[in-house]
Amino acid sequence: MRPPILRRLFRRVAAAAVCAVLPLLTTQAVPASAAAPAPAAAGLQQVTGFGSNPGNLQMFAYTPDSVSAGAPLVVALHGCTQSANAYYTNSGWPKYADLWGFDVVFPQTTSANNALSCFGWFDQAESTRGRGEAASIVQMVEYAKQTYGSDGRRVYVTGLSAGGGMTADLLAAYPDVFAGGSVASGLPAQCATSQAAASGCQTGPQKLSPAQWGDKVRGSHPGWNGPWPRVAIWQGTSDYTVYPANATALRDQWTDVWGIGQTPARTESLPGGTTRSVYEDASGQPAVETFSVSGMGHGLPVSPGSGADSCGSTAAYFLNTICSAYHTGVFWGLDTGTPGGGDGLPAPAGLKVTGVTGSTASLTWNAVGGAASYAVFRNGAKVATTASTSFTDTGLTAGTAYRYTVAATDSSGAAGAASPAVTATTSGGTAPAKCFTATNYAHVTAGRAHTSGGHARANGSEQDMGLYNVFVTHTLRESPAGYFVIADSGCQAGSS
């Protein structure tokens, strides 16, 4: 718990907030009153003296009294002409701060920095390591670590529009500070390095390769070799302020940084016409996720209501589709009930497939000290809880590949880190094999393989194909669909 003096400090109540207006991304001539900072509302309190503040920002914080030291920290960045209070009121993050136990810092910029109170995502004097607004935000993180006892290993940043662009810049410049990020209707890191180039990024970023986008991240903190932040990307398909091409560029940028391909391990349908695509790291954990919201314009997805996955309130550019705060928090592990969430039990080692039939797959793994049970996940969805270190999944489809992970669960029911994934392919099925002979680069580009640690690996079998380049050639055999094995010694006819 916080010392009483800090609880008193953060219980100061300020006046009501002004409404947010259109979060444009670049400066325009507007009356000064349109960008005036909003006072804090009850529950959101201003913090002063958090550092030298080279970016001339204001710090606001929501710090539930029930949150103890050692909790995660979320930094939430508003859009242009918005305020910290608008984001606090409408985004949904306070709900999960209360429910899951973490603090939230809401930085605020003003018209003194930009006529429309935009964070300077397009200005290298503001968006790069050790400079301007980016440095001020990191000072807020340090203040939270020292004052609230926030866990420096679990600091996350999220933002809308210009705040999303600054989020990407922060993740690139400070991968040693932020464990994860979420960019909503935002821009790739260092897409623009001047205000003149900003509008071009909004309507269509440069047509760069994933490696070129990734180089913008790597160049933001030279010499950093990881770990890299885990990144969620939210985008409406009908956004004509920040075009959907930016979400594609963001995906290319961060999958390249992680050394993984641009073909998702799986896609899923979520409420609000949302499609989630998951890009996994070498251990089978989600490293990058994209959330494409069909028909949504420019704004942050929210979903008012009382359900566990409902949050926020609708307002200008807070759009009633799906609760992005909930799904982002789960992706980061803030709910501590998902694999990799929190600082729980270690991942079970030795997960392997011990047998398959046309409708079953059997697994075993090594025991984890302190585990009360184990959660078994098939294709990312929990399918069983067992006290044993073995499990047989039933009711499967013949000739189909399934990916499994296992997480140890403690006596409170909290799941620890997930094991590396294994693939089990049920027997049977009648689909003919298909064969493809190409370079490793071409296999990855075509979605038959992915990259890991500079090597290409066959999708499904995870066989190491050697260096990811245009000089190494392999024949891959596909059977069943989506499952590839190396077949250099020969592949049956009936193939492509």
Q: Which residues of 326-354 are buried (b: 16+ CB within 10 A; e: fewer)?
A: bbbbbbbbbbbbbbbbbebbebbeebeee
Assess contact for 264 and 205: CB atoms under 8 A: no
CA distances from 54 to 126, 137, 360, 383 (A): 9, 10, 60, 50
**Cα distance between residue 468 and residue 465, in whole Å:** 8
3-state secondary structure of 408: strand
Burial class (CB in 10 A: 0-12, 13-18, 19+), 122: buried
The first and second tokens of residue 346, run together, are 């270690």
Q: Which two tokens stand for residue 197?
A: 């180039």
Tally Cβ neighbours within 10 Å of residue 305: 12
CA gap 99, 9 in Å, rounded:
22
The C-alpha atoms of residue 290 and residue 297 are separated, in whole angstroms, by 16
| Annotation says 489 is catalytic | no
Strand boundaries in 271-414, DSSP class E:
274-280, 286-293, 300-302, 318-320, 352-356, 361-364, 373-378, 381-386, 390-393, 401-409
Residue from 161, 220, 419, 479 carrying the catalytic annotation: 161
How far apart, in whole angstroms, are the C-alpha atoms of residue 20 and residue 7? Answer: 29
Question: Which residue numbers are catalytic?
Answer: 161
